[in-house]
Amino acid sequence: MTWELLSEHASFGGVQRFHRHASAEIGLAMRFGLYLPPQALAGQRVPLLVYLAGLTCTEETFTMKAGAQRLAAELGLALLMPDTSPRGAGVAGEADGWDFGVGAGFYLDATQAPWSTHWRMESYLLRELLPQVGAQAPVLPDRTGIFGHSMGGHGALTLALRHPGVFKSLSAFAPICAPSSCPWGIKAFSGYLGEDRGNWAAHDASALMAAQAAAPYPHGILIDQGLADKFLAEQLHPEAFEAACAAVGQPLLLRRQAGYDHGYYFIASFVDDHLRHHARQLVG
């Protein structure tokens, strides 16, 4: 499908572009950011790292705040930053619930009306955007990694576990690790998936990991969590994912960072470590 180029910006020898396209899966226009490092501009196909942002964010948030392009250029990684959610669907309550879950995409396909018509973020990413990027950009689709923050950390963990083999590397910043057990997740899952909690485990990272027969990422998963994060105790529950990883023998480096909160100063402080984590598994 045709991508509309909204803007482009030279960055560390590469180019940061913002695009809009008509999405068949969502049924609305969607936006995304794509950073191509200098190696890609020189004609080389490069690995692709997907970043999923959190509640209230857009395709611009990580792109403009994290400072990831400098090291991505050095490592030869393309960066894909999709928007988090459908926009302008006209659903009652679409905007009102963003801070609490319903209205934000949560990187799943809703099954309940009125959300099921447009809230199809899982299918959009896996069946539409990633195949398009693989076909139209100078990237290596078989060397794709994924990471994200908060709701996007939830999305990175769940999509990686739900689609074995698609993503070769995995990490997260302050992810919602057990959405079936936290207020954000309960509200979102109730709205999108219905009140039958038996359907929720398929989108709960801790439950998905606990159901693995063997370690899905033998080279390790990296998670950074700030200890000054005001959402840590009530919403995030990294200890649940940590326990699930231990139970199935999944190597996990869960770094609890003293003094750091939930925002982009935290992400910018450790994003280089995440890029290097992915490059070790994607480059070469």
Active site residues: 150, 229, 262
Residue 165's identity, in one-letter code, is: G
CA dihedral 237, 240, 241, 247 (to 10 degrees): 170
**Do residues 126 and 160 lie in contact, with contact meaning Cβ atoms separated by under 8 Å?**
no
Q: CA–CA separation, 257 vs 234, rounded Å?
A: 18
Cα gap 249→261, rounded to integer Å: 29
Give the integer Cα–Cα distance in Å for 23 and 32: 12
Angle, CA of 105, 9 and 70, to the nearest 5°: 80
- Contact yes or no for 23/42 (Cβ under 8 A): no
**Which has the closest alpha carbon to 241: 217, 265, 257, 260?**
217
CB 86 within 8 A of CB 119: yes
**For the purposes of burial, counting CB atoms within 10 Å of the CB of 129, is it exposed (0-12), middle (13-18) or buried (19 or more)?**
buried
Contact 78, 48 (CB under 8 A): yes
Pairing of strands 252-257, 221-226: parallel
Q: What is the DSSP letter of 259?
A: T
